[in-house]
Amino acid sequence: MSNSFVAAKPKYEIEDDLLQGVIIINVEGFFDLPTLRAHFVDNAAVVERWRAAGRPIRVLIDAVNLKPHTPEGQACVQEATGRTYRPGDKVAILVCSSLVKMQMRRALSHGEILDFFISRNAALTWLDVQQQSSRQHEVAGRRAR
């Protein structure tokens, strides 16, 4: 019998999907603190590059195969998320079940920046709807001047 909690090596990939206008992050396994910190350094670099280019921050994180964090890991995620993302950014996180979705909503509170989904299509729709709303406000603001 193997312990999948310990045996699941951490892995993350960050992809700039410029065509869709979304940063796609895939995470899986159990993340120890050094791996979490390295991931957030890499993630912050991509987010800052998008900010510098004037791109809206839209992120899809596939965490379906991510193992639960330790309390220290959870605190690291909370702190790094608060440091990386700002009001107006949108981060959709895919999780494996409705129970995990509910637990994550309770554990990670960052206002309207984060939301959790069990469907990739629902997550992408949420990101697109938010973008369309922002674009409509910009266009309306330009017309009003």
Instruction: Please give the Cα distance from 116 to 94 (Å, whole number).
Output: 6
Written as six digits, the tokens of 107 are 């554990």
Quickly count: other Cβ atoms within 10 Å of residue 49's Cβ.
12
Task: Write down the pTM of the prediction.
Answer: 0.79
pLDDT tens, residue by residue, 61-103: 999 999 888 889 989 998 999 999 999 999 999 999 888 888 8
Select from 64, 63, 67 the least CA-distant residue to 3.
67
Tell me the range of 96-100, 108-112, 117-121 where mean pLDDT is highest: 117-121
| CA distance to 46, 91, 129, 140, per residue, from 133 (Å) | 24, 16, 6, 11
Q: Is the pLDDT of residue 134 over 70?
A: no
State the chain's mean pLDDT as an integer: 82
> Cα separation of 30 and 28, whole Å?
7
Model pLDDT for residues 16-66, shown as the tens digit of each residue: 888 788 999 999 999 999 999 999 999 999 999 999 999 999 999 999 999
User: What pLDDT does residue 110 have?
Assistant: 61
